[in-house]
Amino acid sequence: MKKKVTIIGYGKMGKGVEVELKRLGADIHLIIDNEDDWALNWGKFLESDIAIEFTTPDTAIQNFKRCFDAGVPLITGTTGWYDRLDEVLEMAKKQNTSFIYGSNFSIGAQLMFQLTSCFGKLMSQYEEYNCEIHETHHTTKLDAPSGTAVSLAQILLPELNRLQEWHLAPPLIDNSLPIYSHRVGEAIGEHTVTFSSSVDSLTITHQAHNRSGLVQGAVKALFWLLDHPGIYNFSDIFMSIK
């Protein structure tokens, strides 16, 4: 029996998810894109087996709460709300629901997270190198820095004792890791970690060529969650998702 999938958010990612789900023959039960959709379709939403959400930082928390209250398992790729992560996880636990969140569902980005961890461990020995992160996205992306850039910073900071926090640059701040956010045209997403000294620089970069990697990872997570109830960060489980 096909599971009933609700798509919450019908922007570029939501439409991409729709195409991928149709390709796989899934049952797209409902598409919700605004408050009117919620009001008109709440009864139908309660029949959903699972939901996948790509919206905005301003609307995400309310969308999560609705899913948790309804007992509908949820995958979200929305970022910009992680300052309330503890609150959201507590809500999910209280309702005993299933939830996957992640700053980037691309397998390539997840591999970059692992490379960045190794990079930070190695470079912790060389204090003459300064570190910085650059991220570039399309001009309509609302949060800055990106969730992926923040994840990279959170991976690096425990390895680099000389840095105490991250900040959105400019300016430069002593003992702080600068993240530079660039908004350019229709850029899909590029993230770069650079260590520079007076004599040379070392850089690793992940550049998304399109949204397919994000969409495919999120849809794979959706089907995986149906068989593995619980609360997960995508970074902790992506190796298990086929």
134 catalytic per annotation: no
User: Which distant-in-sequence residues (6+ apart) come within 8 Å of 91 by Cβ?
Assistant: 64, 65, 68
Q: Which of 15, 141, 167, 228 is catalytic?
A: 141
The kind and range of the H/E element at 29 are strand 27-32
Q: Distance between CA 215 and CA 224 in Å, rounded?
A: 14
Edge-first strand listing for the sheet containing 231-233? 27-32, 4-8, 50-53, 74-76, 99-101, 231-233
For 81, 150, 172, the CA distances from 168, given in Å and listed in that order, are 16, 10, 9
CB 217 within 8 A of CB 107: yes
Q: Distance between CA 230 and CA 226 in Å, rounded?
A: 10
CA geometry: angle 59, 147, 225, nearest 5 deg: 75
44 catalytic per annotation: no
Q: Which of 137, 191, 206, 220 is catalytic?
A: 137
Q: Report the candidate in 218, 231, 189 with the shortest Cα–Cα distance to residue 54.
A: 218
Q: Distance between CA 9 and CA 229 in Å, rounded?
A: 23
Q: Distance between CA 230 and CA 223 in Å, rounded?
A: 13
Residues known to be catalytic: 137, 141
